[in-house]
Amino acid sequence: MRARRVFGSCTIVAAALLLTLPACAVRKSHAVFLGAVKKVPYSRAGDPAGAAAGETELRIRALVVDGQLKEWTTGNAHDVTDRSFVVRRALRLNDALPAEGESAAAAQKSGQWVWQRGPWLLVDRMTGHITALKLPDYDPGVSQLSWFRDYAAYCGVTASGKSLYAVVAQLAVRKPVLAKKLAPFDVANHPVPECDLPQWQREPLRITFHPAGRDAVSYDIVPGSAVLVEDAGDDSDAAPAAKSN
């Protein structure tokens, strides 16, 4: 009888331990880092949307998660929070014509690959999750992004390709915080760069755009709380107002 009581007590203890294991389990951490810079051949012919005149090299870095190469990146990364950062993707495209061989192996052997500047990526260091950002009116050949907090300021081109806009986008918000027309846009004859890098000011929160051949224009941004929800995919339509200065 005593042995049965001991066995029953052990069973209860074991069951209790099994129930508490999920609560005590430690979440797996991920190792996320950008590798060393290396230079690759680059030209306007290979990337007509992004290369500057006379540019012959692109500086790229590997984005590595848990020891595995996930993406190639270019340019400086920007820390949005203490666990998330943004960086621009670098794409390697197969430039072989159908008559020259369609297989990746054939293109690799003949060297018919070209590098292009791609979209911006949001990277979560804790989960290792990588998200391609869809920025409103973003044009890879025109838009130079200036980051501040979770805001990206840049000159954008409308879907019609006829207007140049001053844009401020906030991460996780569908609608831009600011979208103001700067000038008409001629896709065939636009200067390079179309806009210099926008400049941020903290107090008051202000962004200044420098379109080519035109006077600089500034806008005051009414600051709002960050809406980036890490480890979740909810979007918000709310956006702070902006006024011309």
Question: pLDDT tens per residue, the chain (245 residues)?
Answer: 444 554 455 455 444 544 544 544 455 678 999 999 999 999 988 898 888 878 899 999 999 999 999 999 999 999 999 999 999 999 999 888 877 655 555 555 556 889 999 999 999 999 999 999 999 999 988 899 999 999 999 999 998 889 999 999 999 898 999 999 999 988 777 777 789 999 999 999 999 999 988 899 999 999 888 877 777 443 444 444 455 55
CA separation (Å) from 16 to 10, 22, 157? 10, 11, 61
Radius of gyration of the chain (CA): 25
Amino acid code (one letter) for 14 = A
Contact 157, 137 (CB under 8 A): yes
Query: Rounded to a whole number, what is the largest CA-CA distance in the chain?
Result: 96
Query: Can you tell me which residue has the tokens 């840049």?
Result: 154
Residue 128: CA count within 13 A, CB half-sphere: 13
Peptide bond before 176: cis, by omega within 30 degrees of 0?
no
pTM: 0.77
